[in-house]
Each structure stands twice: as structure tokens, then as C-alpha cells.
Amino acid sequence: MFAPSEGDIKIFGYDIETDIYEIRRSMGVCQQFDVLFNELTIYDHLYLAFAMKGLEIDEVNLNQCMHKVGLELDDKLKSVEQLSGGMKRKLSLSMAITGNPKLLFLDEPTSAMDTEIRSQVRQIIAQLKVDSTIILTTQHMDEAEELADNIALLSKGKLHTEGTVDSIKKEFGVGYNLTFTPKYENDID
């Protein structure tokens, strides 16, 4: 989105200033807030995602993208305004994975999801990381621990630490133990 102020950036050997179209074809983005059009259907959104990446649009590929994220094929003609919040997030994720990108940016992909849908999306991300490099932002440490090989902790825009799950646990501990001791025996109730 922004040109570098200095230096070079290459993604899979492609320069971001001269080969941006090739990079976009091999990259997927799922933003924190769904960028969807209420009047369009699931199928329309996927069609648009394929077209924007310059990919061949074919029914089999569209169906595979839906299947990978747990969207039912029977729902492909539903408009966005008919979808639950979880289905909208799955649609955004499905759009991000069009063309089987080698690089995925997932910004809070499980935000505003109930526990069951969040668990499903975590399983999907775990499967995607087999074939893709994923940069994931999340506020859920359990999610980061489950999905990440390396973690960077940021606060107020500053990097505080980076490393493996084990190295961060070693540095910061594995949590807190809270013990309550009643002041009076009657307070046990």
C-alpha cells in the first residue's frame, strides 16, 4: 500500500516496486474488518477476488475456496446481508486464499466470532500454513500459541519481544497463579 522510503523489498524474489502485480497474484489479505458489498453474493465476491488477481475464473476453483473455509456450496447465492458475522469472516478468508497464495496476511481473522466458529477458523489457518507463509495478527495469545511458529509482541506500536512460543514463555512466564485467602472463616461461602 505504501512505497518504501528507502531500500529494497522482495517477496519470493519479486521486487515490490517493479513486480507488484506478480506479488499480488501470490498474496492474499484478510483485513480485520470485512470489506464486503451487501448486495453481492458469496459467489460474486469470489468471482471478483479471482478477477482482481488476474486468475482464471472457474467454478471448480470457486467451490474449492468455499470448501476450504467451511462455506456451504448451497449458500453461494446468498447475499452478504443474509450472512452471519462468522460467515462474513469466512467469506473474507475465502477471498484471501483465492489462487492458493504463497503469502497470507491475516489481520484478526477470528475477531467478533463465537467460540465454535473461531475454533473452525483456527483449524483452517493451521491447514493453510502447510502451503503458505502466514503473517497473523491477533489479540488472543492462545491463538498465537496454537498457530504461530514465531511470535512478536507489540504494544502501542512498539516491538517488545520476538521469538518462539517457548522462548517468550521463558522470558515472561507461562501465566499467573492467583490465590485467594479469606480474611475471616465465614467468608468462605
- For 185, residues 6+ apart whose C-beta sits below 8 A from its C-beta are none
Q: Dihedral, CA atoms, 73, 27, 18, 4, nearest 10 degrees?
A: 130
Sequence-distant (≥ 6) Cβ neighbours of residue 133 within 8 angstroms: 102, 103, 104
List per-block mean pLDDT (blocks of 10 residues) for the chain, which spans 189 residues. Answer: 82 89 88 92 94 86 88 92 90 91 91 83 89 90 88 87 87 72 67
Give the single-character DSSP code of 135.
E
pLDDT at residue 54, rounded to an integer: 85
Mind listing the pLDDT tens digit for each residue in 47-86? 999 998 888 888 888 898 898 888 888 999 999 999 988 8
pLDDT at 188: 57
Give the cell for residue 144: 498465537
Facing residues of 158 across strands? 155
Please name every residue paired with 105 in a beta bridge, in sequence order, or none if there are none: 29, 135
For domain 10-150, give the fold: Rossmann fold (3.40.50)
116 three-class SS: helix
**For residue 43, what is its C-alpha cell?**
459467489
- Assigned C-alpha cell, 15: 521486487
What percent of the chain clears pLDDT 70, i.e. is strictly above it? 95
